[in-house]
Amino acid sequence: MRRPKKYESGEAAQYITRKQALKKLQLSLHDFRRLCIIKGVYPREPKHRRRAQKGASDIKILYHAKDIRFLLHEPIVWTLRDYKIFGKKTGRDRAIKDFRNLKRRLDMMPEIKMDHVVKERYPTFIDAIKDLDDCLTLMFLFSTFPSLRLIPREQSALCRRLTIEFLHYVIASKSLRKVFISIKGYYFQAEIKGQKVTWIIPHYYPFKPTTKAEVDFKVMSIFVEFYTIMMGFTNFRLYHSLNLAYPPQFPGSITDDEDTFTDESSFVSERISCLNFDLLKTDKTVLENDDDLEIDYDLLEQDGDSKKVLRMKQEAQETKKLKNLFKGLKFFINREVPREPLVIIIRSFGGRVSWDKNSYPGGTFEESDESITHHIVDRPSMEKQHISRDYIQPQWVFDCVNQKTLLPIAKYLMGAELPPHLSPFVDHKRETYVPPEEKALRDPSLIETHEQSEEESAEEEEEEEKLNDQQLEKAFQAERDQMDDGEDEEEDDENMEEDDDEGLDENEKKRKNEKKNMAVEAGKVHKVNKRAIKKDEIEEHRLKARMVKPRHRNLFRKLIREKQEKDKELWLMTKKRKNVEADAKLKKKAAKKAKKQAAV
């Protein structure tokens, strides 16, 4: 039996460099990268890099040898090779100016088919839904792009159509659960087939092209090329689960209208108008929602854990109530308010929404409609107002969804200072800093204490302002006089006691001293020595560290490091909050002084 040589087995045989993979597949770097993205093959990090690189010390891009062998049998490899041949032949026809032959070749251009790859990567429908987060975020981003050099117009138009189809499913199924406004964009989370899907819709800004050094649009476009195929399959299955006609017929054309590609404002308006209409159903006899298909929790309670079943029952009731949160309400959006996220949210929870038809297409009712209940405004005041409706700021809609109830509108009125917009995606039981507003929301008993502390601070400020400098000086002077009188009286009492003691016997002196010892004296404030307590904690920590076994020391250090980082973050956030509150108080004081001076 032949003895194996060095680097012929083990980790060296399991990994292959990118250069060797290109040579084995006979593809260019661009085609290899494209193939890997489509098939879901990525570089791997070995445990022992030097062994995997056969003794080489420099860092190389490594792949599993099994993955490269897996790519050898892929039909897309042959299509990529056909592209290479096609490029050479069309280049030759252009060079010799044989345009007739060039036109014939362009009609026979090879196409990459990815249907089998989608089925291979996602064997079940639930697997595809689990992988929708990145897919949706990237497609929503590309749906806002105009035609660029590396992003064809057809691709951005297809992304736009597929994302609108998905949003229509979310609206029809009422599967939206959480929303949040951030710097990156609008976060949305929907519950589809029991899986939580989170995506980001970017803020609308007029498009500004970036340099190639900042963003690699070519790689992003390859991802989108695969995601569009996957999203088409997913939308088809989702629509048929609700008995909706697919593909849906939108009012007007959102993909073929050339005017929307030349004018960016009409490009956005057309996309939003397509969200404000109802889809056609294939079978109208089927129930609109799954609300009637309720689970018998009483039967489950007999078989399983009663606490778990009760929790499930409570969650089901909350979800049912949340689905119809805005049912019966009519919203009108003012022209300065971003419409797309609000249309998605309001329609997903049973509400009706419209805007000015003259400014943007797609409005369903006029501003003068008396049945409008809420008017969403993002400006300090309006000249013409209706008594029959509430004028609120956009944050009210987001906060109502996150709190799963219709909140009081007092804090969200037009021109009012808004409360903090809390994220619903954080863990409420976390050990890090939790703002007082969030604590008050989780524990209703803390709402009163938080309000009382604010009122007390306001009262204290008023009292401080009322006291003049002369009154303060008089108070200090009176205290000094009292202190001097008290010291004189104490000295007189001591002298009197000494005179009395001289005329008494020894027994009487002893009794008097015993009475003094047994007398009750006023207690003194015990000052806590923080430095000594900190020293004791450090000593205790050292003793704990000594007790840890050598094999667990790295883990112990890691835990201590994590705790220190959390404590530091908590301290920084608390300090930041104090600084913010102090600045707010100073601003209030300055505003009050300015008002008083103006009144005088």
pLDDT in tens, 378-419: 988 888 888 888 999 999 999 999 988 899 998 999 888 888
In this structure, the chain runs to a length of 600
pLDDT reported for residue 292: 44
Mean pLDDT of 49-59: 87
Q: How confident is the model over 197-206, as pLDDT tens digits?
A: 999 999 887 6
Scored b (16 or more CB within 10 A) or e, 466-500 reads: eeeeeeeeeeeeeeeeeeeeeeeeeeeeeeeeeee
Q: Residue 336: which of 408, 394, 273 has the closest Cα? A: 394
Half-sphere exposure in the Cβ direction for 24 (13 Å, CA): 16
Question: Among the listed ranges 30-44, 137-151, 182-196, which one has the minimum average pLDDT value?
Answer: 137-151
CA distance 216 to 151: 11
- What are the structural domain ranges in the chain? 11-107, 115-207+216-273, 322-425, 432-468+560-600
Q: How confident is the model over 268-318, as pLDDT tens digits?
A: 777 787 888 877 766 554 444 444 445 555 555 555 567 777 787 888 888
Residue 336 phi, psi (nearest 5) = -85, -5
CA distance 598 to 592: 10
Q: How confident is the model over 534-576, as pLDDT tens digits?
A: 888 888 888 888 888 888 888 888 988 988 888 898 889 889 9
Q: How confident is the model over 112-166, as pLDDT tens digits?
A: 888 899 999 999 999 999 999 999 999 999 888 876 777 788 888 899 899 999 9
Query: pTM of this prediction?
Result: 0.77
CA distance readout (Å), 358 to 39, 232, 253, 369, 370:
48, 34, 19, 15, 19
pLDDT reported for residue 306: 72
CA distance 511 to 509: 6
pLDDT at 209 > cutoff 70: no
**300: Cβ–Cβ under 8 A, 6 or more apart, which residues?**
309, 312
Mean pLDDT of 168-188: 92
List, in sequence order, every residue forming a beta bridge with 106; answer none if it has no partner.
Answer: none
Mean pLDDT of 157-179: 92
CA distance 358 to 251: 17
pLDDT at 514 > cutoff 70: yes
Average pLDDT of the chain is: 81
Q: How confident is the model over 463-478, as pLDDT tens digits?
A: 555 555 555 566 556 6
The single-letter DSSP state of residue 523 is P
One CATH from 1.10.150.530, 3.40.50.10190, 3.30.70.2190, 2.160.20.10 for 322-425: 3.40.50.10190
pLDDT at 358 > cutoff 70: yes
The number of angstroms, rounded, from the C-alpha of 551 to the middle of its chain's C-alpha atoms is 39
DSSP string, 22-77: HHHHT--HHHHHHHHHHHT------SSHHHHTTT--S---EEEHHHHHHHHT-HHH
